[in-house]
Structure 1
Amino acid sequence: MTDMTELARRKKPLNLAIVHVDPEAFLAAYQPWLEITAFLSALRAGQVEMPEDGITPALTPQQLAGGVTHQIGNDTLAAFCMTAAMKGDGAAVDTVEATLRARFGPDFPGHVGLWPFRGEIAAPVSLDDHVGQAGKKMLAGDPTPPPMRNGETWTVGMRFLERALGSNFKSEIIYPQALWTRARWEDVCEGGVAFMAHIEENLPILREALSEPRNDAAFIANLLLLGAPAVEMDLQDDVKGMLRSLARR
C-alpha cells in the first residue's frame, strides 16, 4: 500500500519512538518512513507511477545520496535528538548514529540534521545551529552555572519551540518539551529564585502559570511569555504576538 494511510501507519511507531526516546524502535521505523515519504514525493512530482503490487519501493541509490530522503531524514533525526536532549539521554543518540552509519555509511540520510548536535559551532547562526548546540550540552549533561541558568532555560525553550513548530514531528516534540519546561521553570522558581529579576512581582506569576496541569504548546508559550521579564528578556513585538497566539486556549 503506497498511499496516505500507509504514510500514517509507518509514522506512528516513529512518533512513539521520538516521544519516548526509544532508539531500537526508532531504528526499526526509520527506513520504512524514509521509503514511503520518498515514494510519495516522487509520485506527486510525476517521477514514478503507483506500483501494480501496491508495495512501497525500496530506496534507490540516488534517493540515498540526497534530495527529499535527506531532507526528511534531517528533520526526523533532529526531532529524535531534541527529545533525547530533553531527557539527557546521550546513549540513545549514540546508538542511533552508530547503527545508521553501519547501515548506510557516513553520509546516511539525516546526518546533516544530526551534525549540529555533534559538531563544535563557534558562532551559531541558523535556528538548527542554536538548537543543536544547546542539545549537545544537554546530551552531555553539561550544566550551566546557576547565575546563567534561568536565562538559558528561557532561550533554549524558545528555540526548541520554534524548531518544533517547523517539524513534521511537532506534537512529538511539544509534549516532552512541555514536561521539560515544567521541570526547568520549577527549578527557576526554587533553586534559581535568587537570580530572578523582580522576584516579588515575577515569582507569584510564574508559580500560577506552573499550576496549569496541561502539558502542551499553550503551556510552553505562556511560560515563555510570562518568564521573559523574570530573566530580563526584552521580547520583540512579533515574538510577543506569536507567543500570545500560541498561549490562547
Structure 2
Amino acid sequence: MPSAAATADRIGSLRWPPAGLRQGRGRRRAGRWTVPETITNMDVRYDEVLDPLRQAYDTGAAWRDGLTKQPWKVAERQAFMDRLASGTRLLEVGAGTGQDSAFFQQEGLVVVAADLSPVMVEHCRAKGIDAHVMDFLHLDVPAGSFDAVFAMNCLLHVPNHDLPAVLAAIRAVLRPGGLYFVGVYGGNESTEGPSDGDQHVPPRFFSWRTDEQLLGFATDARFDVVDFHLVDTGRGYSFQSLTLRRPYRD
C-alpha cells in the first residue's frame, strides 16, 4: 500500500485530462444506458484517493463550514425533500460539515451522516447530527435500513473503476422503493484527475462523466431513473442532478 504522500504525488502528477484517458459515451440498449468498458479501465483506485481526500477535507473543514450554499443547490435539495415524507430515514454520504443533514433533520427526517473526514464528522456532530466516519465502500449500517440516500457533490471523487461497487454498496442500504439523490458536476467530458483550480492541499481527485456515462452507471447498478436534469452553474460547466429509485422488486 503506497503512503498517503506518495499517492497524493501520483494524483497530483495526473494531467487534466490525464494522459491516456480513453473517452467514450454510453449507449442505450433496451431502454437502459450502458457504460463502455473502456470508461472503467483507468488505473486510479478508490483506496488510493481516500487518504489525500481525507487530508484535504480535514484541513478545509472550518473554511467549508462557513460557506453559503448557492441558491441552485438549495433548490435541488428542496426538490428532493419534497419527494420524502416526515419521519423518513435518510443517510447522507459525503456529508461534509453537515449543512444538508441539518436541513433534513430540521424538516423532520431521521438523519444519519457519513463522511470520510473525521474533522467534517466533528462539525456534523456539533450540529446535533448522528454522524460517523465512513467511506462509500465501508458503510457500517444494516442492509435496507434507509428510505433515502442523499449524495451532493461527493461521487465525483470516486474513480470510474470503483463506481459500480460504490453504487452497489449504497443500493444495499436502501429499502426496496427507496430514493437516492446523486448530484455531481459533469456533462460534456469524461476526465479523471485533479483540477487545476483546486485550492485544497493535497490535490483532490475528480471524475467527471458525460450524462450518458452517469446514467449508464446508474442503470447498470439496477436503479430506476426517477428524474435527470442539468443545472447551469454559471461557471462554464453543468451540475448533473439525478434521482434514482431502488426497484420495489429486484
Relative contact order (alpha carbons < 8 A, sep ≥ 6): 1 or 2 greater?
2
Q: TM-score, normalised by structure 1?
A: 0.25
Q: Which has the larger radius of gyration?
A: 1
Higher share of residues assigned strand: 2
Higher share of residues assigned helix: 1
